[in-house]
Structure formats: structure tokens, C-alpha cells
Amino acid sequence: MPFKKPARPALASMIGNPILLHASLATLEAGQSRSPNVVSLRHKYAMVIREIRVSCRMSITSSSYSPGDLPNCVAAPVIGLSLSLLGQPLMAAPVSVGLLDKIRDHGIERETSNDIGYIYSTYVWRLSRPLLVPAGAILQPTFTHFGHLGKSYTLNISYLGNELHKNFAFPRKLMLPWISPWTPPVVSLSGTESVYTSNEKDLGNPHGGPLYVERLMGRLYRTRYQTGYVDFLHFFEAEATDTNAIWRQSKVRLSDSLGNRVVRADAYFYNVFDFTSHTIELAHVLPAGAFYSMTFKCGGTAVANNTALATFSLNGWREVSL
């Protein structure tokens, strides 16, 4: 079906003061799902959110290290985010924070510090449409620690936008973002290829109305035991310069439930999800109940002490009635 975005509400004349709402979660342990204290995320006037930021901090227990010891370490495969507004979920399941938006700046995902023993990662979601939040309502966040690492995290979330004039006539219908994720099991790079395929509950539209798809995203991570840190298994993104070329033994194929073959034969991971944005822009309308079927293959080449983890998501918008 041809893609056509619904008209945006006329907001320009109703925009008020800029606002930033912020909440923190002191500790999230492996396997936990918890929400921060959301009192600070409530605003007395209606507001429009344009950007969501998530900051992740993990402590390092070693007494001697340098930033170079932990190259490109990231939190995205470990931390997931779920959001809801007025009881309406914005995600089908907890979404890796690396899949919220197409990637514009890899640097902020890989910040390390050796002054007080922390590693920082920051993830930014710049909403393609303004997200309207009624007066007094809360865009409710819940963080999930997927448990791939045993380390605990301190998490922060911020909403950036503007308050709306108090006489703003709130619409009866809202456009809400929708993200449907899929994460295959971690693959051991043992030399035996593993093959996984998503199903109708993963990258799809479970709603009764259309989903206005913007993109599909794919991220590929690698783990290893860092020299000098035998107890510290960490993730970093597989890159073009990777000497073991994890991305060359990772392949994807993509079709949808409507009979369309999008990626018709097995293709190298980064030939589909490019090195920079990790995105396929697929602007179209996905009907109710339709879904994508993604096949992921990896592990055919042995790489000692390494595993691979791929994460995928379908990102778009849907209309809901208040």
C-alpha cells in the first residue's frame, strides 16, 4: 500500500516554553525490569515531546585499566526500554536502546572513562513526529536488563520538548510511535552455523489498524573476554575493520506476510543494515496483522572466545483514540 503520513496537528501557534523532564534509576541488576520514580516526568500542562534520551552507566571493578582496554564498549545489547502513554504501549516488548532511532553519532554510544571507574553509553531518539502528552499524564518508562552481562547499571531518561498553551484543544486521536523488536539467541562462533527466523509475533503490526512503517533496524554486536579482565565479558559493535569479519559470516534474508521478498537471498549483514545508520528506510503502510519474517544466519567461522548477538526492530507510528 502506498505510504502516506496522516496530517500533523497544527501545533506551531500553541507551542510554549521549552521543557526537559528527567528521571533516574539508581540500580538495575541482571534480569530485572524496573521503572524510575516518574513523579518528575509529569507536567501540569499538555506538552509535546520531540526527543528522548537514555544514559547508561556501568561500573568497572578493576583497580587498573585505561580507556583503551575497553574498545567501543556499548550498553545497547544489555538494556531495554518500554514506554506507555495513557495505558497504550509504544513497544511490543522491551526494545534494546540501540534500536530506538537510526544512528547518527556512534561516538556517544561508546564513551568510556577511567577517572572513577565507569563506562557511559548514551542513546538519543529524535521523534520524526511530535508526541503529544495530555496535561498531568506520564510517558511511563520501564527499563529491562536482558542479563547478557552480570553487571548492574545506573540509568537516566530525559524527555525534551515544549509545553503547550493551557487552552490547547487536545485531539481525540493521537499518533503514537510503535516499535516491534526481535532478538535471536546469542550465537557461539564455533564454526557451526546457526539459523534463526522471526515469527508473526516479532516484527509486525498486532493492532486493529494500519501501522505507518518508517524503517527496519539491525544491529550486530560481538562479545569477548578482554585481556586482563577475565571476569569481564563485554559487548562492542561489529565493524567494517573487524579483523575477524563477524559481519561477513552474519547474513540476513527478509520477506513479509503479504508475499513480498524484500531481501531475496542471503546478504551480508551490513549490505542490508549499513555501517552508519543500521537502517532500511521502508516508508509504507503495514496492514493490521501483517508482519515481516527475518532470517539471521551466523557462526559458520570459528572465532575463539567470541559470541555474536544481533538485534532487529520494526519502527513506525499508529493512530489511537483517546
Residue 7 inside a domain? The answer is no
Q: Tell me how far the alpha carbon of residue 152 is from its chain's centroid.
A: 19
| Alpha-carbon distances, residue 264 vs 3, 13, 34, 267, 268 (angstroms) | 22, 47, 40, 9, 12
281-317 tens-digit pLDDT: 988 999 999 999 999 999 888 877 778 899 999 999 9
Whether 322 contacts 173, CB under 8 Å: yes
Q: Percent of the chain beyond pLDDT 70? A: 82
The string of DSSP codes covering 133-190 is E-TT--EEEEEEE-SSS---EEEEEEEEEEEEPTT----SEEEEEEEEEE-PPPEE-S
131-163 tens-digit pLDDT: 999 999 999 999 999 988 778 899 999 999 999
Residues 6+ apart with CB under 8 A from 78: 56, 145, 146, 147, 148, 149, 151, 153, 235
Task: Tally the domains of the chain.
Answer: 1
Residue 310 inside a domain? The answer is yes
Residue whose cell numbers read 503490526: 205
pLDDT at 233: 55
Residue 10 inside a domain? The answer is no
Whether 127 contacts 60, CB under 8 Å: no
Residue 2 inside a domain? The answer is no
Residue whose cell numbers read 502513554: 85
Domain limits at 257?
16-321
Residue 292 inside a domain? The answer is yes
pLDDT at 229: 45
Whether 5 contacts 212, CB under 8 Å: yes
**pLDDT exceeds 70 at position 116:** no
Residue 314 inside a domain? The answer is yes
Residue 8 inside a domain? The answer is no
pLDDT at 231: 40
Residue 6 inside a domain? The answer is no
pLDDT at 63: 47
Tell me the CB-side half-sphere exposure of residue 116, using CA atoms within 13 A. 3
